[in-house]
Structure 1
Amino acid sequence: MALLKKLIVTTVIVSIATVGAFSWWAKNPLTTAEPAIEFTVNPGSGAAAAAQQIAGAGVPLNRYLFALLARVTGQASKIKAGSYELKPGTSPRQLLSQLVRGEFAQEAITIIEGWTFRQMRQALAAHERLKHDTVKLSDQELMAKISSEYKDPEGLFFPDTYLFAKGSSELDIYKKAHQAMLSHLKTAWEGRDQSLPYKTPYEALIMASIVEKETGQKSERGMIAGVFVNRLRTGMLLQTDPTVIYGMGERFAGQIRKKDLETDTPYNTYTRGGLPPTPIALPGIQSLNAALAPEKTPALYFVSRGDGTSQFSDNLPDHNRAVNQYQRKITR
């Protein structure tokens, strides 16, 4: 009888010690020499298979204890497949929680204000962590894939930094950027001055793209937009070089010549009145707001001062003097 009691006591002590050791292991950080270790859990993986894949990627994890942890906590069937990243200080319990919540490793891509859609496509195609499933699509096919009502993609994607899980489809980024642009455009359009000479939000987007390419000075965008709005209202030609350059396409070699200004294209605002047929770039939020809330100004002209800012003029004689001063360096 005494021996049986000793065996029971010993068994209880061992069990308590085992549970305590297991609990200690589960809540203490895994020791890693790397700042971060990437690993992938394949679709259809159970707790044991996931633990094996994680350990196989270099994570110092006891795969048997980890599988046991998943089972005893009732989370073995809740592990989500995907690409993950183990950061220093992560415990097995935290790692399991990460897998159950599907906290995938985050990648990022930045779309720059003023890029053309062609440049955006090149950037996405070059990103190593994206699934390149749009490379063979034409622009029109891509727009159809993201269920857009527009056929021409230029200007219709919002420049921003987008986060995504490793291996995500390029289409996901295009969808997010397109919806973001439509949302920002809708908000700006709804708050516009009703007297602006735009018939549709798309025309406002075209103007925003011109403003985006005309100046890098955020503080001047409202004035630039004000000048172009004045020209539209009075029937003047917009005469903006960025539209001419866009219309030249690959023929543009870094310098615009008089011949280029005289060669007619749908985007040559020196030869054609009104707005060009499409945007010429991806405008940011400041340019959108400038196009739909331009500054009130009598100015009809502007010229670069050569320092990144512009000189605005209300009439042609003043503008010619500004051109002589800042462009031709003639002071009298």
Structure 2
Amino acid sequence: GKLHDLKVEERARTLGLSTLQVLTVASLVQAEADERDFSKVARVVYNRLADGMRLQLDTTVLYALNEQGRIKVTNKDLEVSSKYNTYTHAGLPPGPIGNPGSKAIEAALTPAEGPWLFFITVKPGDTRFTESESQFYKWKSEYQKNYAAGAFKVAS
């Protein structure tokens, strides 16, 4: 099958990861990013894990709430009691939050090189990466303005 063709098990081992961990990272990448940013998002995940930072990914909270497809999370959402809540639980969630495609799996196995610890999509098609928390918060306020202005509305 596909996983066998990608040699996921062997390649995961060389990264010091299990197949499950690689597929979990790939599922986060798939949920969080556009394809062109997959390898950078994978790098952010690995950098945060290496630094002992919580992943703090909204998609994991929405998965825990069974609300995939929603964009905005509330402070109340962030309190959900679940091992998939990466705001309250350190490390990777216990398993994948979706079914990652081969490009996301490839990104989890070969992340981009970079120092980034944060990323945010300020508007559709504009995802930015930084190692600076203050820069991240500046971009977050830009995202909030764009969100309020309807930039993320899905055409129905």
Provide the TM-score with structure 2 as the length reference: 0.83
Residue type at the aligned position of 1:199: L
1:293 aligns with 2:110: yes
Q: Which contiguous aligned blocks of 4+ residues in structure 1 show a shift greater than 3 angstroms?
A: 191-194, 252-255
**Distance verdict in 2 for CA 1:229–1:311, change over 3 Å:** same
Deviation track 1:117-145 (CA, whole Å, cap 9, x = no partner) reads: xxxxxxxxxxxxxxxxxxxxxxxxxxxxx
Q: What is the deviation of 1:248?
A: 1.0
Contact 1:193 1:293 in 2 (8 A): no
Q: Which has the higher contact order (CA 8 A, sep 6+)?
A: 2
Q: What is the deviation of 1:184?
A: 4.1
1:210 to 19, 24, 28: 28
> How large is the Cα RMSD of the aligned pairs?
2.2
Deviation track 1:171-216 (CA, whole Å, cap 9, x = no partner) reads: xxxxxxxxx244145x13434583x4x531111111101101111x
Q: Matched residue pairs, number? A: 145
2:101 alignment counterpart: 284
Tell me the distance in 2 between the aligned counterparts of 1:309 and 1:190. 34
Deviation track 1:77-136 (CA, whole Å, cap 9, x = no partner) reads: xxxxxxxxxxxxxxxxxxxxxxxxxxxxxxxxxxxxxxxxxxxxxxxxxxxxxxxxxxxx
Residue type at the aligned position of 2:21: E
1:257 aligns with 2:74: yes
**Distance verdict in 2 for CA 1:223–1:193, change over 3 Å:** farther
1:275 aligns with 2:92: yes
Gaps of 5+ in 1: 1-179
Provide the TM-score with structure 1 as the length reference: 0.41
Tell me the distance in 2 between the aligned counterparts of 1:223 and 1:230. 10
What SS does structure 2 have at the residue aligned with 1:257? coil
1:188 alignment counterpart: 8
**Distance verdict in 2 for CA 1:285–1:321, change over 3 Å:** same
2:126 alignment counterpart: 309
Tell me the distance in 1 between the aligned counterparts of 2:69 and 2:49. 29
Correspondences of 1:1-332 after superposition (within 5 Å): 180-184=1-5, 187-191=7-11, 194=14, 196=15, 198-215=16-33, 217-249=34-66, 254=70, 255-328=72-145
Tell me the distance in 2 between the aligned counterparts of 1:191 and 1:182. 11
Contact 1:222 1:295 in 2 (8 A): yes
Deviation track 1:51-75 (CA, whole Å, cap 9, x = no partner) reads: xxxxxxxxxxxxxxxxxxxxxxxxx
